[in-house]
Amino acid sequence: MSVRVATFAMLAGPHLAGALLLVAYGLPNDEPPPAPKTTTTAAHVLAARRVEPHPQMPAELPKTNKPARTLLMHLEHGEPTPDNRPNTWVHIPATRDRSSDLRVMFLFHGFKNCIESYTSAGIICDQSHNVVRPGYQIAAQLERAGSKSIVVIPETSFDVMSSEAPELSGHGGFRKYVDEVLDAIADETGGAKLADVSRLALAASSGGYQALEPILDDNTGIVTDVILMDAAYMFPKSAVGRYLRVAATELAAGAVQHRIGILYTRSGGALPMTEELMHLTQHVLDSSGALDRASFKRYEGDPRAEDMTGPLYIHYVHEDHDVVVRRNLDKVIAAAGL
């Protein structure tokens, strides 16, 4: 494993492509296709569990005054990359105080992108393609939000019309990757392990759902938060659909352990599936008399941060697909307390 300190900037923009969803809804042909339908079984039901602190972790580690750090590394359990380039980007925020409350978020990029295209102000992933991807300056957004989470952007499918992550999506693959990430930054966390993570969030932009969906399906016991930014291309019986139902059931019972936030637009192709997921979620809440405990709003522009602080929201934003992450990631992170 090689590790080197990187600068604040490195990654960019959205992507899409699809045949089924395009034919069904007449969408532009640069949108991702919907995830395949799956069958719900008892094994798919989310098993909520409380994460106990690792026995060897001190209750409180000394506070530090370090500036924000970004690291680029190539990890054995990450995805293979062209020319063995880095497959993992990690941001340790300036506001993290090395306490035992360890929050970690994994953000999956969309089609025709790479790590650098999301973290930079805009970059060409593959020089042979000569196409500049729109950047989101993720580190700057995290610092602006006052995020205390360690944020990881794994490389998935590099600069192609896909965002699949075969290594991370295989059974047990994501946990091995998380373990390796935590080992690589042990000096930043006091040697924390997966059991020490109090909140583990999976976030996806656009086609990043292709990585998030199977990873969530294989890791429902450890995921506490799901964030989708114009990325809900899933059917109701998908892993995300089941997660939504569990989150809604918990919310109705006043026993929240799982949180989910979804933003969607008119232009990204996720609108029909997102609204189907939303209507089913509203039905679950309404049948329990708890519809007012979640937030379902439509915005002409950006959503208000105060409407994203609850454990479950699905908001339509009237803006282009490509600007959702650039304009809203920091607010989403801050509102979630990540």
80-107 pLDDT, tens digit each? 999 999 999 999 988 665 555 899 999 9
Region of 208 (left: φ > 0; alpha: ψ -120 to 50; beta: rest) is alpha
Which pLDDT belongs to residue 53?
39
Question: What is the pLDDT, as a whole number, of residue 10?
Answer: 32
CB 205 within 8 A of CB 231: yes
Element (H, E) at 254: none
Tokens of 236: 């109701």
Q: What pLDDT shows up at residue 97?
A: 56
Q: What is the pLDDT of residue 85?
A: 93
Give the pairing type, strands 259-264 and 132-134. unpaired
**Residues in the chain where the model's pLDDT stays below 50:** 1-62
How many secondary structure helices (H) and strands (E) does the chain include?
10, 13
pLDDT at res. 146: 85
State how far the alpha carbon of 141 is from the alpha carbons of 79, 92, 137, in Å.
25, 13, 6
Please state the domain extents for the chain: 2-32+51-336
pLDDT at position 104, please? 96
Question: What pLDDT is stored for residue 242 in this prediction?
Answer: 97
Q: Between the CA of residue 211 and those of 79, 203, 240, 267, what are the distances in Å?
A: 11, 10, 12, 21
Spatial neighbors of 254 by CB under 8 A, at least 6 apart, are none
Q: Which class would CATH give 2-32+51-336?
A: alpha beta
User: What contacts 41, CB < 8 A, 6 or more positions away?
Assistant: none
Tokens encoding 147: 């995020």
pLDDT of residue 315: 97
Q: Check residue 258 and give its pLDDT.
A: 97
Q: What is the pTM of this model?
A: 0.82
Nearest to 308 by CA among 282, 281, 335: 335
